[in-house]
Amino acid sequence: MATGLAFAPPAFAGLIGVGREDITPPVGIYARNWGAATHDVAEGIHRPLTVTALTLQCEPDEKPLVLVAADLGWWRTLEDEWYVREGVLKALDLDPARVMVNLSHTHSAPAICREDADKPGGHLIAPYLQTVREAIVTAAQQALAARQPAVLTWGQGTCRLAQNRDLSDPERPRLVCGYSPGQPADETLLVGRVTREDGAILATLVNYACHPTTLAWQNRLISPDYIGAMREVVEAQTGSAPCLFLLGACGELAPIEQYTADTSLPDAHGRELGYAALSTLEGMLPPRTGLEYAGVVESGAPLAIWKRVPAAPATTLGARRIEVELPLKDLPSVAEIEAQLQACEDRALAERLARKRRVRRSVGEGTTTKMPVWVWRVGDALLVGNPNEAYSRLQTELRQEFPQHAVVVMNVVNGHTGYLPPAEMYDLDLYPVWQSPFDRSSLERTIQACKDALHALVD
């Protein structure tokens, strides 16, 4: 019976490779990521940090797409980010559109800003950045050397770890960063499974939007936060196949319980996400398989019968780097911020001012700035990487626009500048609003630019 009713999961078939390197920094490196912290250097290791690279090709002689997942926090300067990413571009002779380096945004990683060389443990930052650059290159080269025919298939699940963190302060007319009961939260989980021709799993990808802020100012250990335990859970059940964590659009999303030094809590969070990822994997069809409607069996009820049928995965790859012009707020100049910083005696406020100075340097002193965004087509999947901290509206609107595709949206890709909150939130006293250099409508402009670029790849 040919009814036309059929389903096949989003997939890509081609040459796929994976490589991983350890990037755990030395104890004693400068690792002060919180304004409220009273310590400066890392005093131990909770779990190791890693970089994992996935390469994608249609043919062996074509330039690959290189997707990197790194257990790092965020970039403070354009120069440091480019120093690391440039290493991959040069080593593999790639166009900048073909590489996305997604930081997990763990707040328990070392500082990766060479301007902090004068801080306690700051002398270790420059050699550590060189180690990270070399590790990413090595992981990408490993992936290319190990490439083989494989299928990347996507499944969608949910996980309740991420909840809304824009809480109305009961004592003052403002919003604070913490669990906000009753507010909506995007709990969508996307899982990619890379399988060889014999069905063995080569790698998994977990795309989820949740701030890794479980460990906070009290913590003195290097940690990937919840991502470490998540990987451990998934890899234990997939034959030790490397798992790449891809941070989603989590501007307003974080765990209910956070801001602690108790390492058992991020481990519990990681297991929660890991088990959700495994549940999603268990519900996925085998590679190269779809479902086809096969008619009705009359029983106590008329029963619709679906049967497994062969399904050919898509084999198309595409990559673009676009620029979105975003409006800037009326910001103080770098010189004005430096004057405020020199007069500041409060350590937490000084931390904010130092970040503000770096942000101002990165966007320039005009009234607008051009922000890059990376958009890829990988078979039936669409990947979007933006260097900012977009609210989840970026991913929910793109998924509504492209319902037939798996839409993987990532924050903190190839840079980091500021938050992208929805326009209506600019009327509120809210950290992501006053932290960001971008003015109202910047998120909406980014969403529209991504829609246009993705339509150009798939239409």
For residues 36 and 141, state if they share a domain.
Answer: yes
Residue pair 396/426 in contact (Cβ under 8 Å)? The answer is: no
Distances in whole angstroms, Cα of residue 193 to Cα of each of 51, 54, 154, 341, 403: 18, 12, 6, 48, 20
d(CA 275, CA 262): 21
Asked whether residue 298 is assigned to any structural domain, the reply reads no
CA angle 284, 450, 163 (to 5 degrees): 55
- Residue 306 in domain: no
pLDDT number for residue 3: 66
The per-residue pLDDT for 360 is 79
* One pLDDT digit (tens) per residue for the chain, 459 residues: 556 789 999 999 999 999 999 999 999 999 999 989 999 999 999 999 999 999 999 999 999 999 999 999 999 999 999 999 999 999 999 999 999 999 999 999 999 999 999 999 999 999 999 999 999 999 999 999 999 999 999 999 999 999 999 999 999 999 999 999 999 999 999 999 999 999 999 999 999 999 999 999 999 999 999 999 999 999 999 999 999 999 999 999 999 999 999 999 999 999 999 999 999 999 999 999 999 999 999 999 999 999 999 999 999 999 999 999 999 998 888 888 888 888 888 877 887 788 778 887 889 888 999 999 999 999 999 999 999 999 999 999 999 999 999 999 999 999 999 999 999 999 999 999 999 999 999 999 999 999 999 999 999
- Residue 185 in 3-state DSSP? coil
- Give the structural domain span for 259: 9-288+314-319+371-458
Q: Which two tokens mark 225?
A: 């936060």
- Sign of the Cα pseudo-torsion (175, 179, 183, 188, in order): positive
Tokens at 107, concatenated: 């707040």
Asked if residue 172 and residue 82 are part of one domain, the reply reads yes
3-state secondary structure at position 38: coil
Q: Kindly state whether residue 340 falls inside one of the protein's structural domains.
A: yes
110 and 182, same domain (yes or no): yes
Nearest to 315 by CA among 60, 99, 97, 11: 11
In terms of domains, do 148 and 124 share one? Answer: yes
Q: For residue 230, which amino acid is it?
A: M
**Looking at the structure, do residues 443 and 336 belong to the same domain, yes or no?**
no
Which residue is associated with the tokens 């798992």? 243
Distance CA 70, CA 251 (A): 19
What single-letter amino acid sits at 402? F
Structure tokens given for 342: 């020199």
CA 20 – CA 142 distance, rounded (Å): 8
What per-residue confidence (pLDDT) applies to 332?
A: 82
Quote the pLDDT of residue 2.
55
User: In the prediction, which pLDDT does 366 show?
Assistant: 87
Same domain, 333 and 385: no
User: Domain tally for the chain?
Assistant: 2
57 bridge partner residues: 15
- Dihedral of the alpha carbons of 62, 50, 189, 418, in degrees to the nearest 10: -90
Cβ-Cβ contacts under 8 Å for 400 (sequence gap 6 or more) = none
In-domain check, residue 216: yes
Question: DSSP readout, 120-156?
Answer: TTGGGHHHHHHHHHHHHHHHHHHHHHT-EEEEEEEEE
